[in-house]
Amino acid sequence: FYGEIPRPFYFLFAFLLLHYMILDNGDGKQARKTKSSSPLGLLFDHGCDALTTTLLYITLASTIQLGNDGLAIHMGQLIANVPFYTSTLEEFYVNGLFLPVVNGPNEGIMTINACCILTGLFGVQLWNQEYYGFRLGLIIETLSGMGIIFTIIGTYITIYQKNRPKLQEALIKSTPMLLHIIATLCIALLSIEQVGLVHTKIVCVLLGTISAKLATHTQVSHVTNENLNPFRLIPVSYTHLRAHETPEHLVCRLLLEKKKNNEAFDTYFCSNQNQVCAGADF
């Protein structure tokens, strides 16, 4: 996580990241406007965001020259992924996503943009300057971490305000992420072979993928109206996702698009009690 690439690439990344943010914020609104939204689309959108979070952090860590500081790098990975998990948890329990005024999808991405633009203008040596004995890059990560703590606390406050009886359950369901945090700190601090330092990028991607898996499980439970099982091993079926597309959760709309020639199809209906689709024949 150190060294400099040709400066135009920093500007290119900032440009592409800005467009990613705009499209990510607008795709849901466009889908609802055109009435093409679906649980599967929501799951796909959040799944991509969960994976992208780690990749964005790796780019930021390289930009602000965190070097071989394994603890700082892995703590930064947690700073990026833990709020994403708690946000999906909030969405599950309150059936909505209430982002604070300062949040990761907007201000967080704009901060990464600003870092890339400044690096393109002044070079990576900017982040190696020391202030009060600390490198500027490390100061940026520390300030981001402090802001993330308030974001996480705000998530549970929102759950308390909008679904108070479920707050204790939400805290219990956060156990997998707590175990993930402990495992990350153990890898960074207690690894005998110093795996977190020798293979920093590989470990960072692995831990980020685990965080994405936890967040995706929460989102699957949300779109299928199931009880949250954070230790789920078997993914939900595509048919089950489509079975919950209608507001009444009565009909499994696993249909093919009608073409010019008429196509015969048979569908099975979902049980109103179990809300599980048996399948469809085409």
Is pLDDT above 60 for 267?
A: no
- Which pLDDT belongs to residue 276? 40
pLDDT, mean over the chain: 77
- Nearest-5° Cα angle at 30, 34 to 22: 170
- Taking only the tens place, the pLDDT of each residue in 189-224 is 887 777 767 778 888 888 888 888 888 888 888 888
- pTM for the full predicted model: 0.75
- Which pLDDT belongs to residue 12? 93
Cα–Cα distance for residue pair 154/101, rounded to 1 Å: 11
* pLDDT band per the 50, 70, 90 thresholds, residue 1: low
Those residues with Cβ within 8 angstroms of residue 146's Cβ, 6 or more apart along the chain or in another chain: none
- Taking only the tens place, the pLDDT of each residue in 132-156 is 888 888 888 888 888 788 888 888 9
Burial 23-62 (b: 16+ CB within 10 A, else e): eeeeeeeeeeeeeebebebbbebbbebbbbbbebbbbbbb
Is pLDDT above 60 for 54?
A: yes
* pLDDT band per the 50, 70, 90 thresholds, residue 269: very low
* Lowest mean pLDDT segment, chosen from 92-106, 196-210, 229-243: 229-243
* pLDDT band per the 50, 70, 90 thresholds, residue 101: confident
- Which pLDDT belongs to residue 41? 82
Please say whether the beta carbons of 177 and 82 come within 8 A: yes
- Taking only the tens place, the pLDDT of each residue in 10-37 is 999 999 999 888 888 888 788 888 888 7
